[in-house]
Amino acid sequence: MITNGDTLSASYRAKGSIGWIVPPRCNETVIEEAFRIRPPGVSWAFATLGMADFGPDHYEEALLAIEAATKDLVARDVSVVVYSGMPLTAQRQGEYHRELETRIRAVTGDELPVITDTEVVVLALRALRIRRLALITPYQAANVANVKRVFEGQGFDVAATRGRDWNLAQLITQPEDDTVYEMALEAHEATDGHDGFYLGCPQWPVVANIGPIEAATGLPVVTQVQAIMWWTAHHLELDADLSEFGRLFSQSAGPVGRSD
């Protein structure tokens, strides 16, 4: 039994701690997803923006909390800082995710690695040479359309989109373990010529479906939490076998900068 507090702290975050800014005030599935994919010695520190539900007013209120959330993570001595919440940045259109990254860096300074989910997903898609993707999300139609425009603005062809008319609470409670698998295969069968998948949103069960979707379709899969861990693994020089979570982890070139 470990009795020394310092020894305990060293054991669970000995290889680093991922500071993750997430919008929802209440989180459940995303926590399970994050800890399912982490290698031993890596921990997650969550800072929430207090968002109650989807919608422009909720998004704007949540984005005002970015600096405070970042300060909390810096105080907890995290190894990297990642912002995740594509619907919030996508509603602004254009390159707002980079403006948000600049706001975060103003708090962290230049030494601490910082990235947004938009940036890390784009890096992952490009590493896997995915140019024409199927976008599978639990988002409502307006959010799906906004996220689609973001990818198109980054030079991708979005060949198919799938979403659900769920509010934030339903997003966490309604999906079954294989919901995203069924949606991805349905889109795959109905779409010609796409060369990969993006499974948007870390707030529903996706991590365990990456391998099965890749096996069933022969195409690579990118998700937020997976791409975050891939990026973090390179920054922290982690030596861990995460191949069960997709082809992305076979990419040896570390994504150390922006996608442009």
Strand partners, 24: 51
- Report whether 42 contacts 232 (CB < 8 A): yes
- What is the predicted pLDDT for the residue at 3? 46
Residues in CB range of 24: below 8 A, 6 or more apart: 30, 48, 49, 51, 168, 203
- CATH architecture under which domain 5-116 falls: 3-Layer(aba) Sandwich (3.40)
> pTM of the predicted model, to two decimals?
0.92
C-alpha to C-alpha distance for 98 and 63, rounded to whole angstroms: 13
Residue 83 β-bridge partners:
21, 116
Quick one: pLDDT at residue 252? 58
| Pairing of β 80-83 and β 157-162 | unpaired
Task: Give pLDDT, residue 240.
Answer: 85
> What is the C-alpha to C-alpha distance for residues 93 and 147, in angstroms, rounded to an integer?
9
**CATH class of the domain defined by 120-224:** alpha beta
Question: What's residue 93's pLDDT?
Answer: 76
In angstroms, the CA 79 to CA 73 distance is 9
Q: What is the DSSP letter of 48?
A: E
Q: What's residue 12's pLDDT?
A: 79
How high is the pLDDT of residue 260?
55
Q: Residue 100's closest CA among 72, 126, 78, 119?
A: 119
Which residue ranges in the chain fall short of pLDDT 50? 1-6, 9, 253, 255-257
H or E element: which one contains 16? strand 16-24
Residue spans of the domains in the chain: they are: 5-116, 120-224
Q: Return the structure tokens found at 148.
A: 């689609």
